[in-house]
Structure 1
């Protein structure tokens, strides 16, 4: 019996691209983080992501997911690589990714190219902040397009990362450990 609140994001059904950055070594830690590179989300977040994908497609875009559910061991590895609470949540507090209710993503254009967001994913500097003012108008529009899509779909943003969205009241969701994932069948 599957008692996990997580579901696997079906890229074909949702019409999204999945590029889990922490499944490879090209990330802020400089090493492979994920032992199980499935794109999982809490059922509530997956429902909102479905809506976000519909809205993005209506506007002529497609979503690319960089990260979703993050096991607690992975949060610890990221914290060890960058122990800065402005960008990586202290694992003792429990990441919203480790609750399955946060997703990191961007928009792709009709040719499948990522929109210019001013910085790359996991660029842990001030220009990555959601409302950083010293960026060209086209970049501001791209960020606002993603923001509008995600807010209209039930997510909220955080100030320090343009790519990070999470469900409201994320701390109310329980942390989900690896044992729950291993016992779940998908």
Structure 2
């Protein structure tokens, strides 16, 4: 177990909002996946998230964290709900979320309202792809603003999800199975 590699994201210190989607039932699996609602990341990713939060605040915005570290059991449940490798990584390969180096997030304005990104989180359609062209200019600007913030903070995007960012060379980080995090009534 490498749980010492994980740190809890302190929403107050980082001035971010944490809304872990998989702690509730309104997600692609249709059931709560996380019993433990702590938002955890690898130390390296948490440092980059601190920078991303500072950059968002410079633009008068904040980050809303939708998912971070994902235990392997959770990756398996998501794969069972949507076994499509374009959107959910096969758990036998190991999710970058299960390495603690991936974060799903969006931008929110000063009133706590999310910026329009054209689709919701976990909307597994082509419209959610990072550079889907057939979206209004305002949506494109919002996505590009998030992209610029996250790239500047040391993260990289993936092609199929505008909300997903991860550290470069994520494969070099070990998979982490934090035994203190158990499934939600599964």
The reply to whether TM is greater than 0.5 is yes
- Structure 2 distance, partners of 1:103, 1:129, is 16
* Dislocated runs of 4+, deviation >4 Å: none
How is 1:72-151 mapped onto 2 (pairs within 5 angstroms)?
A: 72-151=72-151
Matched residue of 2:37: which SS?
A: coil
- Structure 1 distance, partners of 2:69, 2:16, is 16
- Structure 1 distance, partners of 2:63, 2:98, is 21
How is 1:1-186 mapped onto 2 (pairs within 5 angstroms)?
A: 4-179=4-179
Q: Measure how far apart 1:35 and its partner are.
A: 2.3
Report the TM-score, using the length of structure 2 for normalisation.
Answer: 0.95
* More deviation, 172-181/37-46: 172-181
Residue correspondences, number: 181
Matched residue of 1:143: which SS?
A: helix
Matched residue of 1:65: which SS?
A: strand
- Structure 2 distance, partners of 1:85, 1:106, is 22
What is the alpha-carbon root mean square deviation over aligned residues? Answer: 1.3
Change in 2 beyond 3 A, CA 1:34/1:180: closer
Matched residue of 1:178: which SS?
A: coil
- Structure 2 distance, partners of 1:122, 1:22, is 11
Report the TM-score, using the length of structure 1 for normalisation.
Answer: 0.95
Measured against aligned partners, the alpha-carbon deviations of 1:161-186 in whole angstroms (never above 9, x if no partner) come to 0000000000000000032769xxxx
- Structure 2 distance, partners of 1:68, 1:128, is 19
Q: Measure how far apart 1:36 and its partner are.
A: 1.4
Structure 2 residue runs of 5 or longer lacking an equivalent are: none
Q: Is the 8 A contact 2:35 2:181 kept in 1?
A: no
Q: Is the 8 A contact 2:36 2:181 kept in 1?
A: no
Change in 2 beyond 3 A, CA 1:34/1:181: closer
- Structure 1 distance, partners of 2:176, 2:23, is 19
- Structure 2 distance, partners of 1:50, 1:112, is 19
